[in-house]
């Protein structure tokens, strides 16, 4: 089984987010970058599928050279090879088109993404990719089984779940549930050593032209100090009369 895992390189969940003085983009000073948490579930699922069915795992990122440590980490966790498409994408469609061009020239059985990257919270790339490739897509995927060329996948929908069946190749936007938290793997020394000799290829982009333009970023207005109340009756009164929340 040939599996592609699309990896997005994002600020660590504990990062304090600041923007540059002009508000044009993230101020990455002091920010640690990690594999997008949703992609980590997908990567681990790929490892499980490889262990069960054999095959190879490719990890891919569309990004500048600063994302290579993140790809190396994915190799250390167990991916077989990495590809970086050397572009600094400014929107999802640019990423999706780059991924499409790469995938169209390969033969992947399964394309695993994360549900969403926690930086720009787009939740766009995987569904765009499915549409561009005319391949079935399952978002918020919390369960996936493969039987030959058949896939059964369950996705979260508002207030419940939906299960689908289809034929490979399939595009997935994964999340916790695809594998459990305890299944996530931390790279060990051996993994880190072997990752150094695994291939990390750099490919040049084939697309240009974004469809959207970020104009400015600001931080949400700071909350004023909390009002501590002593009784639930006072709380109900304030929620009704002051906050107009009930």
Ligand X SMILES: Cc1cc2nc3c(=O)[nH]c(=O)nc-3n(C[C@H](O)[C@H](O)[C@H](O)COP(=O)(O)OP(=O)(O)OC[C@H]3O[C@@H](n4cnc5c(N)ncnc54)[C@H](O)[C@@H]3O)c2cc1C
44 is written with which tokens? 């681990």
Per CB under 6 A, contacts with ligand AMP among 29-48 are 36, 38-39
Q: Is the omega angle on the peptide bond into residue 158 within 30 degrees of 0, that is, cis? A: no
Q: Which is nearer to ligand X, 13 or 121 (CB)?
A: 13
The answer to whether residue 168 forms part of the interface with another protein (CB under 8 A) is: no
The answer to whether residue 216 forms part of the interface with another protein (CB under 8 A) is: yes
Say how far apart CA 88 and CA 63 lie, in whole Å: 5
CB of 233 vs ligand AMP, minimal distance in Å:
44
Q: Which is nearer to another protein, 168 or 200 (CB)?
A: 168
**Which residue sits closest to ligand X, CB atoms considered?**
13
Sign of the Cα pseudo-torsion (163, 168, 173, 174, in order): positive
12 is written with which tokens? 């660590």
Q: Is 124 helix (H, G, I), strand (E, B) or coil?
A: coil
Residue with tokens 């639930």: 232
Among ligand X, another protein, ligand AMP, none, residue 233 binds (CB under 5-8 Å by kind): another protein
CB of 114 vs ligand AMP, minimal distance in Å:
3
19 is written with which tokens? 């923007």
At how many degrees (to 10) do helices 37-53 and 68-77 cross? Answer: 40
Residue from 76, 83, 142, 179 in contact with another protein (CB under 8 A) = 142
| Selected range binding another protein among 1-9, 52-60, 117-125, 190-198, rule: CB under 8 A | 117-125
The answer to whether residue 174 forms part of the interface with ligand X (CB under 6 A) is: no
Say how far apart CA 39 and CA 45 lie, in whole Å: 10
Each residue 2-21 as x (binds ligand X by CB under 6 A) or -, in order, gives -----------x--------
Cβ(43)–Cβ(112) below 8 Å: yes
Task: Give the number of residues in contact with ligand X, rule: CB under 6 A.
Answer: 2
Q: Which is nearer to another protein, 60 or 129 (CB)?
A: 129
Residue with tokens 């050279």: 65
The answer to whether residue 202 forms part of the interface with another protein (CB under 8 A) is: no
The continuous run of DSSP H or E covering 141 comes out as strand 137-147
CB of 129 vs another protein, minimal distance in Å:
8
Which residues lie near ligand X (CB under 6 A)?
13, 37
């Amino acid at each position: 089984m040939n599996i592609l895992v699309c990896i997005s390189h994002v600020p660590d969940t504990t990062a304090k987010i600041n923007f540059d003085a002009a508000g044009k983009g993230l101020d990455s000073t002091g920010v640690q970058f990690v594999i997008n948490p949703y992609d980590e579930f997908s990567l681990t699922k790929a490892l499980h599928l490889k262990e069960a069915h054999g095959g190879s795992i490719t990890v891919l990122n569309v990004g500048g050279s600063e994302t290579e440590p993140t790809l190396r980490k994915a190799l250390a966790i167990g991916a077989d090879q990495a590809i970086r498409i050397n572009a600094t994408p400014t929107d999802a469609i640019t990423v999706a088109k780059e991924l499409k061009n790469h995938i169209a020239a390969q033969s992947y059985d399964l394309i695993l993404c994360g549900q969403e990257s926690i930086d720009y919270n787009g939740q766009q790339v995987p569904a765009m990719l499915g549409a561009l490739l005319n391949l079935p897509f399952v978002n918020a995927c919390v369960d996936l089984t493969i039987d030959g060329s058949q896939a059964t996948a369950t996705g979260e929908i508002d207030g419940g779940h939906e299960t689908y069946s289809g034929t490979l190749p399939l595009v997935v936007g994964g999340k916790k549930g695809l594998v459990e938290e305890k299944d996530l793997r931390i790279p060990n020394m051996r993994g880190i050593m072997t990752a150094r000799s695994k291939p990390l290829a750099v490919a040049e982009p084939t697309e240009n032209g974004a469809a959207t333009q970020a104009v400015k970023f600001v931080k949400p207005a700071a909350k004023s100090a909390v009002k501590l109340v002593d009784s639930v009756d006072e709380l109900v009164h304030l929620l009704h009369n002051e906050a107009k929340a009930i």
